Amino acid sequence: MHEGKIAEYSYSIIEEVFKEKYPLMDKKIKKIVFAIGRPHTVMRDSFEFYFCELTRGTFLEGADLVYEYVEEEGFYVSSIDVED
């Protein structure tokens, strides 16, 4: 059940980055790409459930969540696509 904490942490990092880049706060986020490294310690379904619950009613609600598997360790935000 650590996916809930990982979802909270991911949300807070994304929110912090967007607040620093004030012009982005008015933009809609279309896609968030998460990198999942080895060993695969994050369950995608569980993470996605928590993340979607956290982002309900926020600027992140409705963003497509995409996952890519990478060779390095960890779980992190790889990229964020923002509307033009």
Ordered per-residue pLDDT tens for the chain, 84 residues: 588 999 999 999 888 888 777 666 677 889 999 999 887 778 889 999 999 999 999 888 999 999 999 988 888 999 988 887
Burial of 27 (0-12, 13-18, 19+ CB in 10 A): middle
Give 59's DSSP letter: T
Q: Would the pTM count as exceeding 0.75?
A: yes
d(CA 40, CA 47) in angstroms, rounded, equals 12
Q: Which domains does the chain have, with CATH numbers?
A: 3-82 (3.30.2320.50)
